[in-house]
Structure 1
């Protein structure tokens, strides 16, 4: 006689495995490492700071 299998558990296990494969694919496709995000954030802050330093404040002469 064969082994008794709970079909609900099998379905859930298969669904988890499929979700894990999809998540791995999305991490590769869309994910960035923490280092990459930090570098981009630092670069953006520096560019904003440099732009702000070169701003010319003009007051209304009335």
Structure 2
């Protein structure tokens, strides 16, 4: 005779396996690695600094000339 198997445990394990497989597919499809996120943050901060440095300052307005 074969081994006795608890069907509830078997079903729960199957569901966990399916869930883990779906999570892996979602990470591949939608996720980005930490290094990609870091690179994007650095690039964004570099661009913000460049934009800030290239802004022209407005001359203060003289209220007596109005």
Q: Structure 1-normalised TM-score?
A: 0.85
Please report the RMSD computed on the Cα atoms of aligned residues, expressed in angstroms. Answer: 1.4
Q: Please name the residue that 1:48 is paired with.
A: 48
Which consecutive segments of 4 or more residues in structure 1 shift more than 4 A? none
Q: Which ranges in structure 1 are unaligned for 5 or more consecutive residues?
A: none
Larger radius of gyration: 2
Q: Structure 2-normalised TM-score?
A: 0.80
Q: Which ranges in structure 2 are unaligned for 5 or more consecutive residues?
A: none
Count of aligned residue pairs for this structure pair: 62
